[in-house]
Copies of this chain bind each other. A is one copy, B any other.
Amino acid sequence: MLSALDLARRIDAGELKSLQAIELAAEVIAAREGEVQAFAALDLDAARTAASEQRQGPLRGQSIGFKDVFDTADLPTAYGSALYAGHRPATDAALVAMARQAGGITLGKTVTAAFAHLDPGPTRNPHRLTHTPGGSSSGSAAAVAAGMLSIAIGTQTGGSTIRPASFCGVAAFKPSFNLLPTVGVKCVSWHLDTVGLFAAGVADVAFAAAALTGRDLRVDDRSEGPPRIGVLREPPWPQAGVDMLAAVETAIDAAGRAGAPCADLTLPPIFSEMFKAHATIHAYEAARAFAFENDRHRDALGPALLKLIDDGQAISHDAYDDARALTSRARRQTADLFEDIDIILSPSAPGVAPEGLSTTGTSTFNRVWTLMGVPCVNIPGLSDASGLPLGVQAIGRFGRDRQTLQAGLFIESVIARRNR
Protein backbone atom coordinates (compact mmCIF):
# COMPACT_ATOMS: atom_id res chain seq x y z
CA MET A 1 0.00 0.00 0.00
CA LEU A 2 0.99 3.64 -0.43
CA SER A 3 1.46 5.23 2.99
CA ALA A 4 0.35 8.84 2.74
CA LEU A 5 2.61 9.81 5.62
CA ASP A 6 5.61 8.08 4.09
CA LEU A 7 5.01 9.84 0.77
CA ALA A 8 4.66 13.18 2.54
CA ARG A 9 7.93 12.67 4.42
CA ARG A 10 9.81 11.74 1.27
CA ILE A 11 8.37 14.71 -0.60
CA ASP A 12 9.19 17.05 2.31
CA ALA A 13 12.73 15.69 2.36
CA GLY A 14 13.13 16.32 -1.37
CA GLU A 15 13.58 12.59 -2.07
CA LEU A 16 10.44 12.38 -4.16
CA LYS A 17 8.69 14.82 -6.47
CA SER A 18 4.90 15.08 -6.55
CA LEU A 19 4.79 13.74 -10.09
CA GLN A 20 6.91 10.74 -9.09
CA ALA A 21 4.56 10.03 -6.21
CA ILE A 22 1.61 10.08 -8.60
CA GLU A 23 3.46 7.69 -10.93
CA LEU A 24 3.80 5.22 -8.05
CA ALA A 25 0.02 5.10 -7.92
CA ALA A 26 -0.33 5.07 -11.71
CA GLU A 27 1.94 2.01 -11.98
CA VAL A 28 -0.21 0.04 -9.55
CA ILE A 29 -3.37 1.20 -11.29
CA ALA A 30 -1.96 -0.09 -14.60
CA ALA A 31 -1.22 -3.43 -12.97
CA ARG A 32 -4.31 -3.97 -10.84
CA GLU A 33 -7.30 -1.84 -11.86
CA GLY A 34 -8.31 -4.33 -14.55
CA GLU A 35 -9.10 -6.97 -11.96
CA VAL A 36 -10.06 -4.80 -8.96
CA GLN A 37 -12.28 -2.30 -10.80
CA ALA A 38 -12.14 0.30 -8.07
CA PHE A 39 -12.62 3.34 -10.32
CA ALA A 40 -15.81 4.76 -11.77
CA ALA A 41 -13.76 7.44 -13.54
CA LEU A 42 -10.05 8.01 -13.86
CA ASP A 43 -7.99 10.82 -15.43
CA LEU A 44 -4.31 10.15 -14.99
CA ASP A 45 -3.28 12.72 -17.58
CA ALA A 46 -5.02 15.51 -15.70
CA ALA A 47 -3.48 14.20 -12.47
CA ARG A 48 0.01 14.27 -13.99
CA THR A 49 -0.52 17.82 -15.21
CA ALA A 50 -1.70 18.91 -11.77
CA ALA A 51 1.21 17.14 -10.08
CA SER A 52 3.77 18.75 -12.35
CA GLU A 53 2.45 22.19 -11.41
CA GLN A 54 4.32 21.79 -8.11
CA ARG A 55 1.43 22.72 -5.91
CA GLN A 56 2.15 23.44 -2.31
CA GLY A 57 0.20 22.24 0.69
CA PRO A 58 0.34 19.25 3.01
CA LEU A 59 -1.33 16.91 0.49
CA ARG A 60 1.02 17.61 -2.42
CA GLY A 61 1.90 14.41 -4.23
CA GLN A 62 -0.93 12.46 -2.62
CA SER A 63 -2.99 10.39 -5.03
CA ILE A 64 -6.59 10.88 -3.99
CA GLY A 65 -9.85 9.30 -5.06
CA PHE A 66 -13.36 10.42 -4.20
CA LYS A 67 -16.30 8.07 -3.90
CA ASP A 68 -18.56 8.73 -6.86
CA VAL A 69 -21.20 10.41 -4.71
CA PHE A 70 -19.00 13.53 -4.41
CA ASP A 71 -19.71 16.10 -7.11
CA THR A 72 -16.67 16.90 -9.25
CA ALA A 73 -16.53 19.59 -11.91
CA ASP A 74 -13.58 17.94 -13.68
CA LEU A 75 -14.68 14.30 -13.61
CA PRO A 76 -18.01 12.61 -14.34
CA THR A 77 -20.20 11.91 -11.32
CA ALA A 78 -22.72 9.08 -11.68
CA TYR A 79 -23.61 8.28 -8.05
CA GLY A 80 -23.16 4.61 -8.96
CA SER A 81 -26.22 4.68 -11.21
CA ALA A 82 -26.75 4.41 -14.97
CA LEU A 83 -29.32 7.16 -14.48
CA TYR A 84 -26.51 9.69 -14.03
CA ALA A 85 -23.99 8.13 -16.44
CA GLY A 86 -21.78 10.89 -17.83
CA HIS A 87 -23.24 13.54 -15.52
CA ARG A 88 -20.82 16.43 -15.03
CA PRO A 89 -21.69 18.68 -12.09
CA ALA A 90 -21.08 22.42 -12.32
CA THR A 91 -19.42 22.48 -8.90
CA ASP A 92 -16.97 20.47 -6.85
CA ALA A 93 -18.14 19.12 -3.53
CA ALA A 94 -16.60 21.20 -0.73
CA LEU A 95 -14.12 18.49 0.23
CA VAL A 96 -12.94 18.02 -3.36
CA ALA A 97 -12.01 21.71 -3.52
CA MET A 98 -10.52 21.55 -0.01
CA ALA A 99 -8.31 18.61 -1.06
CA ARG A 100 -7.11 20.58 -4.09
CA GLN A 101 -6.45 23.66 -1.94
CA ALA A 102 -4.33 21.44 0.32
CA GLY A 103 -2.26 20.37 -2.70
CA GLY A 104 -3.84 16.96 -3.24
CA ILE A 105 -4.18 15.39 -6.68
CA THR A 106 -7.53 13.79 -7.49
CA LEU A 107 -6.87 10.83 -9.79
CA GLY A 108 -10.41 9.68 -10.14
CA LYS A 109 -13.77 8.72 -8.73
CA THR A 110 -14.14 5.45 -6.89
CA VAL A 111 -16.96 2.95 -7.30
CA THR A 112 -19.91 3.32 -4.96
CA ALA A 113 -22.82 0.97 -4.45
CA ALA A 114 -25.71 2.68 -6.25
CA PHE A 115 -26.52 5.94 -4.46
CA ALA A 116 -24.34 4.88 -1.51
CA HIS A 117 -26.80 2.18 -0.53
CA LEU A 118 -26.68 -1.60 -1.05
CA ASP A 119 -26.99 -2.34 -4.78
CA PRO A 120 -23.35 -3.31 -5.45
CA GLY A 121 -20.92 -2.06 -8.07
CA PRO A 122 -18.28 -4.10 -9.95
CA THR A 123 -15.39 -3.68 -7.48
CA ARG A 124 -13.62 -6.78 -6.18
CA ASN A 125 -11.68 -7.32 -2.97
CA PRO A 126 -7.97 -6.93 -3.74
CA HIS A 127 -7.18 -9.61 -1.11
CA ARG A 128 -9.35 -12.18 -2.90
CA LEU A 129 -11.09 -11.20 -6.10
CA THR A 130 -14.03 -13.52 -5.57
CA HIS A 131 -15.02 -11.66 -2.40
CA THR A 132 -16.82 -8.36 -1.95
CA PRO A 133 -14.75 -5.34 -0.93
CA GLY A 134 -17.71 -4.27 1.18
CA GLY A 135 -19.77 -1.18 0.52
CA SER A 136 -20.98 1.27 -0.16
CA SER A 137 -17.53 2.93 -0.37
CA SER A 138 -16.33 -0.16 -2.27
CA GLY A 139 -13.87 1.46 -4.64
CA SER A 140 -12.34 3.75 -2.01
CA ALA A 141 -11.44 0.86 0.29
CA ALA A 142 -10.28 -1.41 -2.55
CA ALA A 143 -8.16 1.26 -4.24
CA VAL A 144 -6.21 1.99 -1.05
CA ALA A 145 -5.88 -1.73 -0.27
CA ALA A 146 -4.50 -2.42 -3.75
CA GLY A 147 -2.00 0.45 -3.47
CA MET A 148 -3.69 2.47 -6.24
CA LEU A 149 -4.36 5.51 -4.04
CA SER A 150 -2.69 6.91 -0.94
CA ILE A 151 -5.91 8.53 0.30
CA ALA A 152 -9.51 7.75 -0.58
CA ILE A 153 -12.65 9.50 0.53
CA GLY A 154 -15.96 7.77 1.11
CA THR A 155 -19.10 8.18 3.16
CA GLN A 156 -20.90 6.27 5.89
CA THR A 157 -24.67 6.37 6.47
CA GLY A 158 -24.85 2.88 8.01
CA GLY A 159 -21.44 1.19 7.86
CA SER A 160 -20.15 2.23 4.45
CA THR A 161 -16.68 3.31 5.57
CA ILE A 162 -15.70 1.08 8.50
CA ARG A 163 -17.06 -2.13 6.96
CA PRO A 164 -15.25 -2.00 3.59
CA ALA A 165 -12.07 -0.89 5.37
CA SER A 166 -12.34 -3.98 7.58
CA PHE A 167 -12.94 -6.24 4.58
CA CYS A 168 -10.06 -4.72 2.62
CA GLY A 169 -7.52 -4.45 5.45
CA VAL A 170 -7.00 -0.68 5.40
CA ALA A 171 -7.35 2.02 8.03
CA ALA A 172 -10.47 4.16 7.98
CA PHE A 173 -11.73 7.10 9.96
CA LYS A 174 -15.37 8.10 10.30
CA PRO A 175 -15.07 11.41 12.15
CA SER A 176 -17.53 13.03 14.50
CA PHE A 177 -20.68 13.98 12.61
CA ASN A 178 -20.17 17.10 10.48
CA LEU A 179 -16.43 17.39 11.11
CA LEU A 180 -15.93 16.98 7.36
CA PRO A 181 -18.48 18.82 5.18
CA THR A 182 -20.97 16.83 3.10
CA VAL A 183 -21.69 19.85 0.88
CA GLY A 184 -21.90 18.54 -2.70
CA VAL A 185 -22.27 14.90 -1.65
CA LYS A 186 -25.38 13.11 -2.96
CA CYS A 187 -27.63 12.96 0.08
CA VAL A 188 -29.15 9.77 1.44
CA SER A 189 -29.95 10.89 4.99
CA TRP A 190 -29.10 14.34 6.32
CA HIS A 191 -28.90 13.18 9.93
CA LEU A 192 -26.64 10.22 9.13
CA ASP A 193 -24.45 10.88 6.06
CA THR A 194 -20.87 11.22 7.27
CA VAL A 195 -17.70 11.61 5.23
CA GLY A 196 -15.14 8.84 5.85
CA LEU A 197 -11.46 8.59 4.98
CA PHE A 198 -9.33 5.62 3.94
CA ALA A 199 -5.54 5.23 4.02
CA ALA A 200 -2.96 2.52 4.60
CA GLY A 201 -2.58 2.88 8.36
CA VAL A 202 -4.14 4.80 11.22
CA ALA A 203 -1.40 7.46 11.22
CA ASP A 204 -1.97 7.92 7.48
CA VAL A 205 -5.67 8.44 7.80
CA ALA A 206 -5.10 10.87 10.68
CA PHE A 207 -2.60 12.74 8.52
CA ALA A 208 -5.19 12.95 5.74
CA ALA A 209 -7.85 14.27 8.10
CA ALA A 210 -5.46 16.88 9.49
CA ALA A 211 -4.35 18.00 6.05
CA LEU A 212 -7.89 18.27 4.68
CA THR A 213 -9.25 20.25 7.61
CA GLY A 214 -6.25 22.08 9.05
CA ARG A 215 -7.22 20.64 12.43
CA ASP A 216 -4.83 19.17 14.97
CA LEU A 217 -5.56 15.53 14.14
CA ARG A 218 -2.15 14.04 13.37
CA VAL A 219 -1.06 11.23 15.65
CA ASP A 220 2.36 10.36 14.20
CA ASP A 221 4.13 13.26 15.82
CA ARG A 222 3.40 12.63 19.49
CA SER A 223 3.06 9.74 21.89
CA GLU A 224 0.45 9.35 24.54
CA GLY A 225 -0.17 6.79 27.22
CA PRO A 226 -2.16 3.62 26.58
CA PRO A 227 -5.90 4.24 26.12
CA ARG A 228 -8.49 3.04 28.58
CA ILE A 229 -10.58 0.54 26.65
CA GLY A 230 -14.17 -0.55 27.14
CA VAL A 231 -15.20 -3.84 25.56
CA LEU A 232 -18.71 -4.84 24.50
CA ARG A 233 -19.35 -8.53 24.97
CA GLU A 234 -23.03 -8.66 25.94
CA PRO A 235 -26.41 -8.32 24.27
CA PRO A 236 -28.00 -6.09 23.04
CA TRP A 237 -24.69 -5.85 21.29
CA PRO A 238 -24.80 -8.17 18.26
CA GLN A 239 -22.63 -11.20 17.92
CA ALA A 240 -19.74 -11.54 15.54
CA GLY A 241 -18.36 -14.73 14.02
CA VAL A 242 -15.70 -16.86 15.70
CA ASP A 243 -12.81 -15.43 13.70
CA MET A 244 -13.80 -11.86 14.44
CA LEU A 245 -14.31 -12.52 18.13
CA ALA A 246 -10.84 -14.05 18.22
CA ALA A 247 -9.44 -10.99 16.48
CA VAL A 248 -10.99 -8.68 19.05
CA GLU A 249 -9.63 -10.80 21.89
CA THR A 250 -6.20 -10.72 20.26
CA ALA A 251 -6.36 -6.92 20.13
CA ILE A 252 -7.51 -6.72 23.75
CA ASP A 253 -4.79 -9.08 24.86
CA ALA A 254 -2.05 -7.20 23.01
CA ALA A 255 -3.33 -3.85 24.31
CA GLY A 256 -3.52 -5.19 27.85
CA ARG A 257 0.05 -6.44 27.71
CA ALA A 258 1.13 -2.99 26.55
CA GLY A 259 -0.52 -1.39 29.57
CA ALA A 260 -3.98 -0.48 28.26
CA PRO A 261 -6.64 -1.30 30.84
CA CYS A 262 -9.61 -3.12 29.30
CA ALA A 263 -12.95 -3.37 31.10
CA ASP A 264 -16.21 -4.94 30.08
CA LEU A 265 -18.85 -2.41 29.20
CA THR A 266 -22.61 -2.80 29.16
CA LEU A 267 -24.68 -0.52 26.98
CA PRO A 268 -27.69 1.15 28.58
CA PRO A 269 -31.07 -0.32 27.54
CA ILE A 270 -31.85 2.57 25.18
CA PHE A 271 -29.25 1.17 22.79
CA SER A 272 -31.45 -1.81 21.97
CA GLU A 273 -33.82 0.71 20.37
CA MET A 274 -31.10 2.42 18.34
CA PHE A 275 -31.02 -0.16 15.55
CA LYS A 276 -34.66 0.57 14.84
CA ALA A 277 -34.14 4.33 15.26
CA HIS A 278 -31.35 4.20 12.68
CA ALA A 279 -33.52 2.27 10.22
CA THR A 280 -36.40 4.71 10.73
CA ILE A 281 -34.32 7.86 10.21
CA HIS A 282 -32.40 6.33 7.30
CA ALA A 283 -35.48 5.28 5.34
CA TYR A 284 -37.67 8.30 6.17
CA GLU A 285 -34.99 10.76 5.06
CA ALA A 286 -33.99 8.70 1.99
CA ALA A 287 -37.60 8.74 0.80
CA ARG A 288 -37.38 12.55 0.77
CA ALA A 289 -33.76 12.88 -0.39
CA PHE A 290 -34.56 10.78 -3.47
CA ALA A 291 -37.92 12.45 -4.15
CA PHE A 292 -36.76 13.50 -7.62
CA GLU A 293 -35.45 10.08 -8.66
CA ASN A 294 -38.52 8.37 -7.23
CA ASP A 295 -40.88 10.79 -8.99
CA ARG A 296 -39.18 10.80 -12.38
CA HIS A 297 -36.96 7.73 -12.68
CA ARG A 298 -38.29 4.89 -10.53
CA ASP A 299 -37.53 2.37 -13.28
CA ALA A 300 -33.84 3.23 -13.14
CA LEU A 301 -33.43 2.59 -9.39
CA GLY A 302 -32.09 -0.66 -7.95
CA PRO A 303 -34.17 -2.98 -5.77
CA ALA A 304 -32.47 -2.13 -2.48
CA LEU A 305 -32.88 1.62 -2.97
CA LEU A 306 -36.51 1.24 -4.04
CA LYS A 307 -37.20 -0.76 -0.91
CA LEU A 308 -35.53 1.91 1.23
CA ILE A 309 -37.63 4.65 -0.39
CA ASP A 310 -40.87 2.67 -0.11
CA ASP A 311 -40.11 1.79 3.50
CA GLY A 312 -39.42 5.44 4.18
CA GLN A 313 -42.71 6.58 2.70
CA ALA A 314 -44.56 4.15 4.94
CA ILE A 315 -42.99 5.55 8.12
CA SER A 316 -45.24 7.96 10.00
CA HIS A 317 -44.04 11.43 10.90
CA ASP A 318 -44.59 10.57 14.56
CA ALA A 319 -42.39 7.47 14.32
CA TYR A 320 -39.66 9.55 12.73
CA ASP A 321 -39.95 12.35 15.30
CA ASP A 322 -39.86 9.75 18.09
CA ALA A 323 -36.75 8.13 16.60
CA ARG A 324 -35.01 11.49 16.53
CA ALA A 325 -36.00 12.33 20.11
CA LEU A 326 -34.84 8.90 21.29
CA THR A 327 -31.57 9.41 19.42
CA SER A 328 -30.97 12.70 21.21
CA ARG A 329 -31.38 10.94 24.54
CA ALA A 330 -29.09 8.10 23.51
CA ARG A 331 -26.42 10.57 22.39
CA ARG A 332 -26.34 12.11 25.84
CA GLN A 333 -26.04 8.63 27.36
CA THR A 334 -23.26 7.83 24.90
CA ALA A 335 -21.24 10.73 26.25
CA ASP A 336 -21.63 9.22 29.74
CA LEU A 337 -20.23 5.90 28.47
CA PHE A 338 -16.87 7.61 28.01
CA GLU A 339 -16.53 8.90 31.56
CA ASP A 340 -13.94 6.27 32.49
CA ILE A 341 -12.75 5.06 29.10
CA ASP A 342 -11.19 6.59 26.00
CA ILE A 343 -12.56 4.18 23.43
CA ILE A 344 -14.90 1.27 22.99
CA LEU A 345 -13.26 -1.61 21.15
CA SER A 346 -15.58 -3.56 18.89
CA PRO A 347 -15.58 -5.67 15.74
CA SER A 348 -15.69 -3.52 12.61
CA ALA A 349 -17.87 -6.14 10.89
CA PRO A 350 -19.29 -9.57 11.71
CA GLY A 351 -16.33 -11.29 10.05
CA VAL A 352 -14.22 -11.33 6.90
CA ALA A 353 -15.50 -10.15 3.53
CA PRO A 354 -18.26 -12.51 2.36
CA GLU A 355 -17.67 -14.48 -0.81
CA GLY A 356 -19.36 -13.21 -3.95
CA LEU A 357 -20.17 -9.76 -5.28
CA SER A 358 -23.93 -9.81 -4.92
CA THR A 359 -23.95 -8.25 -1.44
CA THR A 360 -21.57 -5.87 0.32
CA GLY A 361 -22.05 -7.37 3.81
CA THR A 362 -23.90 -5.93 6.77
CA SER A 363 -23.39 -2.83 8.89
CA THR A 364 -24.54 -4.37 12.20
CA PHE A 365 -21.47 -3.12 14.05
CA ASN A 366 -21.52 0.35 12.55
CA ARG A 367 -25.05 1.72 12.26
CA VAL A 368 -25.56 2.67 15.89
CA TRP A 369 -22.27 4.58 16.06
CA THR A 370 -23.10 6.43 12.86
CA LEU A 371 -26.38 7.42 14.49
CA MET A 372 -24.56 8.51 17.65
CA GLY A 373 -22.28 10.68 15.50
CA VAL A 374 -19.15 9.53 17.35
CA PRO A 375 -15.70 9.06 15.80
CA CYS A 376 -14.83 5.51 14.68
CA VAL A 377 -11.51 4.15 13.43
CA ASN A 378 -11.03 0.87 11.63
CA ILE A 379 -7.75 -0.67 12.75
CA PRO A 380 -6.17 -3.06 10.22
CA GLY A 381 -3.56 -5.72 10.87
CA LEU A 382 -5.43 -8.90 11.79
CA SER A 383 -6.72 -11.63 9.50
CA ASP A 384 -8.30 -15.06 9.47
CA ALA A 385 -6.34 -18.25 8.81
CA SER A 386 -6.82 -17.84 5.07
CA GLY A 387 -5.37 -14.34 5.12
CA LEU A 388 -8.56 -12.33 4.70
CA PRO A 389 -8.50 -9.12 6.76
CA LEU A 390 -10.42 -8.65 10.01
CA GLY A 391 -10.70 -5.07 11.25
CA VAL A 392 -11.32 -3.99 14.81
CA GLN A 393 -12.93 -0.69 15.59
CA ALA A 394 -12.06 2.06 18.06
CA ILE A 395 -15.14 4.11 18.92
CA GLY A 396 -14.57 7.41 20.71
CA ARG A 397 -16.46 10.23 22.31
CA PHE A 398 -18.09 12.90 20.14
CA GLY A 399 -15.54 15.62 19.38
CA ARG A 400 -12.58 13.57 20.62
CA ASP A 401 -11.44 12.66 17.14
CA ARG A 402 -7.71 12.97 17.72
CA GLN A 403 -7.86 10.93 20.89
CA THR A 404 -9.79 8.19 19.08
CA LEU A 405 -7.23 8.12 16.29
CA GLN A 406 -4.45 8.07 18.88
CA ALA A 407 -6.03 5.05 20.56
CA GLY A 408 -6.46 3.39 17.17
CA LEU A 409 -2.78 3.93 16.44
CA PHE A 410 -1.87 2.40 19.79
CA ILE A 411 -3.86 -0.74 19.08
CA GLU A 412 -2.58 -0.95 15.52
CA SER A 413 0.98 -0.79 16.89
CA VAL A 414 0.54 -3.46 19.54
CA ILE A 415 -1.13 -5.75 16.99
CA ALA A 416 1.76 -5.21 14.59
CA ARG A 417 4.37 -5.91 17.30
CA ARG A 418 2.54 -9.13 18.17
CA ASN A 419 2.49 -10.15 14.50
CA ARG A 420 6.24 -9.77 14.21
Docked pose: A317 CA to B289 CA in angstroms? 30
Binary flags per residue of A215-228, CB closer than 8 Å to B gives 1, else 0? 11000000000000
Which of these, B93, B183, B187, B291, contacts A101 with CB under 8 Å? B291
Q: A101-B291, A288-B94, A292-B92 are in contact. Are A183 and B178 (CB under 8 A)?
A: no
CB-nearest residue of chain B to A181: B288
Docked pose: A89 CA to B92 CA in angstroms? 13
Bin chain A's interface residue count. 35 or more
Contacts of A191 in B (CB 8 A): 178
A260 within 8 Å of B by Cβ? no
Contacts of A293 in B (CB 8 A): 91
* A97 lies within 8 A of B317 (CB): no
Contacts of A184 in B (CB 8 A): 187, 292
Docked pose: A331 CA to B56 CA in angstroms? 41
* A97 lies within 8 A of B183 (CB): no
Contacts of A84 in B (CB 8 A): 90
Docked pose: A296 CA to B289 CA in angstroms? 28
Task: Write the nearest CB–CB distance from A160 to chain B, whole angstroms.
Answer: 18
Contacts of A73 in B (CB 8 A): 292, 296
Contacts of A100 in B (CB 8 A): 295
A237 within 8 Å of B by Cβ? no
- Name the interface residues of A368-420: CB closer than 8 Å to any CB of B: 399
Sampled A-B contacts (22; CB under 8 Å): A73-B292, A84-B90, A89-B90, A91-B292, A91-B293, A92-B291, A92-B292, A94-B187, A94-B291, A94-B292, A95-B291, A96-B292, A97-B291, A97-B292, A98-B288, A178-B191, A181-B190, A183-B190, A184-B187, A213-B317, A214-B317, A321-B399
| Interchain residue pairs A-B with the least CB separation, the first 5 | A97-B291, A92-B292, A97-B292, A183-B187, A94-B291
